Amino acid sequence: MRLLIMGPQGVGKGTQAALLSKHYGIPAISTGDIFRYNIKNHTELGKEAQSYTDKGELVPDEVTSRIVKDRLAHNDTKNGWILDGYPRNAAQVQALDQMLEELGTPLDHAVALEADHDVLMDRMRKRAEQEGRADDTPEAIAKRLKIYEEQTAPLLETYKGRGELVAVNGVGDIDEISAKIIAQLG
């Protein structure tokens, strides 16, 4: 199973990606996690990424797409994968299309998690208090949401047009949401 998990910040992409990863026995690959790991470990990539992540801006497409390409070449992706947080703009969709074409491994579905603005803001405020992520400042949160609305949300139409979109309400009990996604994926 090869899946994208899409949706705005705070909708629960990481949580659902982890549950789907366990269910299907495939890795959940989060570009945000890869950047955070590299920032924490002061790698060259981390230094390059941090100036963007701290502000809630997108890391340049070439950097991000290269990381995804390298990660998809690992052995643990033979039975599939879940991409969480990638692609985020049209250029990344194009880069992913090309990678998958080269690998001969087409995408199965793009899962879109949906929630209204107030629920998301509330969750982000709570996450900021509990996790203390460096990029959970009010400015960075607002910036990420704006980028999501302008650049990422339109991609759902792209996947819908390809007949690959599965949209699920992201508000409610996490196990029930996961069960609903799995039921729709068949």
Binding site for ligand AMP (CB under 6 A): 9, 31-32, 35, 52-53, 56-59, 64, 85-86, 88, 92, 135, 144
Q: In whole angstroms, what is the distance from residue 154 CA to residue 139 CA?
A: 23
Residue 2 annotated as catalytic = no
Sheet holding 165-169, edge to edge: 28-30, 81-84, 2-6, 109-114, 165-169
Rounded alpha-carbon distances, angstroms, from residue 131 to 127, 137, 179: 6, 12, 27
Place of tokens 């026995």: 25
* Residue among 13, 36, 71, 123 flagged as catalytic: 13
* Residue among 55, 69, 125, 133 flagged as catalytic: 133
Shortest distance, position 183 Cβ to ligand AMP, whole Å? 26
Q: Which is nearer to ligand AMP, 149 or 176 (CB)?
A: 149
Shortest distance, position 161 Cβ to ligand AMP, whole Å? 21
C-alpha count within 13 angstroms, C-beta hemisphere, residue 110? 25
Residue 36 annotated as catalytic = no
Q: Which is nearer to ligand AMP, 51 or 79 (CB)?
A: 51
Shortest distance, position 6 Cβ to ligand AMP, whole Å? 11
Which stretches of the chain are assigned E, i.e. beta strand?
2-6, 28-30, 81-84, 109-114, 165-169
Residue 127 annotated as catalytic = yes
Beta-sheet pairing, 109-114 with 2-6 = parallel
Residue nearest to ligand AMP (CB): 32
The angle subtended at Cα 170 by Cα 37 and Cα 135, nearest 5°, is 30
Q: Which is nearer to ligand AMP, 1 or 91 (CB)?
A: 91
Shortest distance, position 46 Cβ to ligand AMP, whole Å? 11
Catalytic center residues? 13, 88, 127, 133, 144
